[in-house]
Structure 1
């Protein structure tokens, strides 16, 4: 089977598992709820474990290893994860602060914040993002690259992530941002993966970014039994009072700028190798 066909099969299998485990279909039929919504953590963990095992199986059929995809616990991968985590935390914290300044609200300390909630949130985010990286980077990107080249592989995954991000529960301008921002993120996460040939840096940035926007600067409406506990800071006013453009535009601009920067970083290195 051609590499791109295997990549499509891989994405179909994991899309089905994503729908069952992470989108809540199985959770809907579970007749009980574990404390602190551990049910969702278990389901997300099952998805990540399944992604790991399925990636390993596809690698075996291609006579390669997870290490060939840059998926390992080797020291360089771990180091790049820590660097990526720091970059994600710093960049997304800066944009979160700019977002409040541009939009016109302030971040205020949420009451009853606990260290347990923050650490639980970090664990949940890491597990969820590891599953996402295995799903949308790694095997499918490398397989599409073999068939069509790196640039085309990134475009294909942008299209796939856009489709995956579609939701019939939102519409209009909100739907646009719901699709656009993950698509833009796919650009720089994929470039970083191709640049390093390892998953660590992309996973680190992904984890740091979501940790900041969920467990630190949290704009989510607070709900009972939400999968990830509320973050440390919340908006001091209701967000319905503000323009959606003001709330989302900083993230769009950041994603565009970051994508351009890492693209030229990637191309510069490729030109250097070609000259050598």
Structure 2
């Protein structure tokens, strides 16, 4: 029987200037894929270059975490941007990060939308189409990372892009498989034991307990542990070790 495997990803490079968010270096010793901010919700050229270099040194796969142009809101506010403009802004972010990845001897391998854009393209067909068009035009070999059942993954698959199902060990789920919005209480799971339990169950059983107590199918190829939560590094280590102890190989999909 083939050994089960999963990618472990985290959002990195989310500082800006002298301000740092999370321990990028420590997390890069734990995860197999890094979703690197591209300057629109967080990140700046020096941060992008530093994180890409550190990821390349460790053999961690680099992904572009693209966002609305919303530094003030950390990309967590919906922006009703025209699809063509959104596509251009995604290409802009992709190209910027890919430049630093190539300087480091690597390259961008996948795209993951951030924050409000991630949530929007679950159901917003126009913005999902724009995201797909940007990826297809820039590099159709890039994978699309996102929520199962989203318009983003559906349209990406129709366009011939490789799609990768993602789940969140530290986020609460609704019964329909969508994420509980961050503005609602309990949207982020902060109990370490619960995060580890949920992550392990997602990968080994293909389900997660929703807020109403029902089990929702997820079956992730990539599992995310956010890098901006308190104790993120130790929590990511616990999730990785629990997966390995359960016989799951932690390996990048890219």
TM-score (norm 2): 0.26
Name the structure where strand makes up a greater proportion of residues.
2
TM-score (norm 1): 0.25
